[in-house]
């Protein structure tokens, strides 16, 4: 489907909300994929997730969280021991630095607690605006839009904004949706990017957004070819939701880890 270059702002906002509703139906299981029980654990997991899959982070964190339950534990950690624990997540020296400095900053400035304000969070070592929004949305119930690589790619494919700066993207998309929806919208967009609308070969022929997406055809449109590209345990449900025969989804797709 081609979309007119003259789409009005109102028309674009309406289409964005339709996309939001379709994603709500497509991904009822959308959630923060980093396992955590509190704001500190989420901050730590988010730092570890840089250049690493959430699945790998989730394999490492149970032991890490048990060993370092408080900010003071991170502040006083033995560097070598921590490096070994988080080594599988990559860039483990830099990440160890960030975690120790994060613990120290929390102890020195925030009484060992993770603050619940964006302005405070972004002053902490290892925590940028994206991470801060993840923490606000998922540990403090403060609505936040998380502009990661999937989010950027998808809103560009949907031509909802031409901005390339993540903060400008955050504001542009935020203006189209009620604030209370921001956190879940972010999860759903990221879920769609990981399971359907991949960077290299999006599964256009097995996507629930074909009528709303001006980039339909970027990936294979033939149902069997597209069904093979779906990923994750709900791959067959995703095919069915898009009107594609679920048996076209191979077992490997269901087992495939969403990146």
- Which residues lie near ligand SF4 (CB under 6 A)? 157, 196-197, 202-204, 207, 209-210, 213, 215-216, 218-219
Catalytic residue check, 181: no
What are phi and psi for residue 126, nearest 5 degrees? 80, 0
Q: Which is nearer to ligand SF4, 96 or 208 (CB)?
A: 208
Q: Which is nearer to ligand SF4, 102 or 203 (CB)?
A: 203
Residue from 54, 95, 130, 237 carrying the catalytic annotation:
130
Q: Is 32 a known ligand-binding residue?
A: no
CA gap 249, 203 in Å, rounded: 11
* Nearest distance in Å: CB 167, ligand SF4: 24
Please list the alpha-helical segments (H only) found in the chain: 9-26, 39-48, 54-67, 71-75, 79-86, 92-110, 118-121, 129-139, 149-157, 166-174, 182-195, 223-227, 235-241, 251-255
Q: Which is nearer to ligand SF4, 43 or 196 (CB)?
A: 196
Residue from 35, 73, 120, 148 carrying the catalytic annotation:
148
Report yes or no: 196 and 158 within 8 Å, Cβ to Cβ.
no
* Nearest distance in Å: CB 219, ligand SF4: 5
Q: In 3-state terms, what secondary structure has residue 54? A: helix
> 166-171 — which CB contacts under 8 Å span 24+ positions?
166/129, 166/130, 167/129, 170/129, 170/133, 170/145
CA gap 38, 157 in Å, rounded: 34
Catalytic residue check, 179: no
Q: Which is nearer to ligand SF4, 132 or 206 (CB)?
A: 206
**Residues known to be catalytic:** 130, 148
Per the annotation, binding residues are: 197, 204, 207, 213
Per the annotation, binding residues for [4Fe-4S] cluster are: 197, 204, 207, 213
């Amino acid at each position: 489907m081609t979309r007119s270059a003259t789409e009005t702002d109102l028309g674009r906002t309406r289409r964005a909300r339709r996309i939001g509703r379709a994603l709500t139906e497509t991904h009822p299981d959308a959630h923060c994929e980093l396992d955590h029980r509190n704001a500190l654990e989420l901050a730590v997991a988010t730092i570890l997730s840089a250049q690493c899959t959430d699945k790998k982070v989730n394999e490492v964190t149970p032991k890490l969280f048990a060993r370092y339950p408080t900010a003071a534990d991170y502040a006083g950690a033995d560097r070598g021991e921590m490096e070994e624990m988080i080594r599988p997540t990559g860039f483990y020296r830099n990440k160890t630095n960030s975690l120790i400095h994060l613990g120290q900053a929390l102890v020195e400035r925030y009484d060992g607690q993770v603050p619940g304000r964006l302005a405070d969070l972004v002053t902490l070592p290892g925590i940028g605006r994206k991470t801060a929004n993840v923490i606000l949305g998922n540990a403090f119930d403060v609505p936040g839009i998380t502009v990661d690589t999937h989010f950027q790619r998808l809103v560009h494919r949907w031509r909802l904004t031409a901005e390339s700066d993540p903060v400008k993207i955050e504001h542009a998309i935020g203006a189209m949706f009620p604030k209370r929806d921001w956190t879940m919208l972010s999860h759903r967009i990221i879920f769609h990017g990981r399971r359907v609308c991949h960077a290299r070969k999006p599964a256009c022929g097995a996507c629930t957004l074909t009528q709303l997406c001006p980039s339909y055809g970027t990936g294979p449109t033939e149902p069997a070819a597209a069904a093979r590209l779906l990923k994750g345990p709900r791959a067959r449900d995703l095919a069915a939701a898009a009107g594609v025969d679920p048996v076209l989804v191979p077992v490997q797709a269901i087992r495939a880890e969403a990146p």
